[in-house]
């Protein structure tokens, strides 16, 4: 059996299950992880949908499940979606300002550089999805 440190877990609700493609909605907790107190309003309570391909998925619509993700996959997502774009943006901004470009032009070019980056991620999303290990298990 897996150790709790072997994966990151979030509860969800199955909203669709057709031919092994499941859609699960995840509702974020609106409090911190210590108490989940909704009065402080620090957290994010938006619901998110996740589509997972699973062979032999025996889940019913409306069933509560746990979504488990490998920490390595989560870190890869954080790096690709947050860290690299930030470094690209700041690096290009500093480089263009150092070359003597006006702040408006340097900022515009730096922001514009994110378009091809995210387009690249979009075009290779299928290959990147194979690197992400997501499992869905029934709540007991």
* 8 Å CB contact between 118 and 105: no
What pLDDT shows up at residue 42?
A: 47
What pLDDT shows up at residue 120?
A: 96
- The predicted model scores a pTM of 0.68
Residue ranges covered by each domain of the chain:
1-69, 71-132
* 8 Å CB contact between 12 and 78: no
What pLDDT shows up at residue 114?
A: 97
What pLDDT shows up at residue 78?
A: 92
What pLDDT shows up at residue 96?
A: 97
What pLDDT shows up at residue 5?
A: 63
pLDDT (tens, 9 = 90+) of the chain, 140 residues, equals: 455 568 888 888 888 888 778 888 887 655 455 555 444 544 456 778 888 887 777 788 888 888 888 888 889 999 999 999 999 999 999 999 999 999 999 999 999 999 999 999 999 988 988 888 788 888 87
Q: What is the 3-state secondary structure (H, E, C) of the chain?
A: CCCHHHCEEEEEEEEEEECCEEEEEEECCCCCCCCCCCCCCCCCCCEEEEEEECCCCCCCCCCEEEEEECHHHHHHHHHHHHHHHHHHHHHHHHHHHHCCCCHHHHHHHHHHCHHHHHHHHHHCHHHHHCCCCEEEEECC
If you count them, how many residues does the chain have?
A: 140
């Amino acid at each position: 059996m897996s150790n709790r440190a072997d994966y990151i877990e979030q509860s969800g609700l199955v909203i669709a299950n057709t031919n092994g493609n499941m859609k699960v909605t995840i509702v974020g907790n609106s409090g911190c992880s210590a108490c989940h107190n909704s009065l402080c309003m620090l957290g994010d309570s938006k619901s998110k949908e996740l589509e997972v391909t699973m062979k032999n998925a025996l889940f019913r619509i409306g069933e509560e499940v746990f979504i488990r993700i490998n920490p390595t996959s989560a870190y890869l997502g954080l790096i690709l979606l947050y860290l690299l774009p930030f470094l690209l943006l700041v690096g290009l901004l500093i480089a263009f300002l150092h070359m003597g470009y006006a702040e408006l032009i340097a900022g515009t070019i730096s922001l514009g550089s994110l378009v091809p980056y995210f387009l690249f991620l979009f075009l290779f999303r299928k290959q990147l999805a194979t690197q992400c290990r997501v499992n869905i298990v029934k709540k007991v």
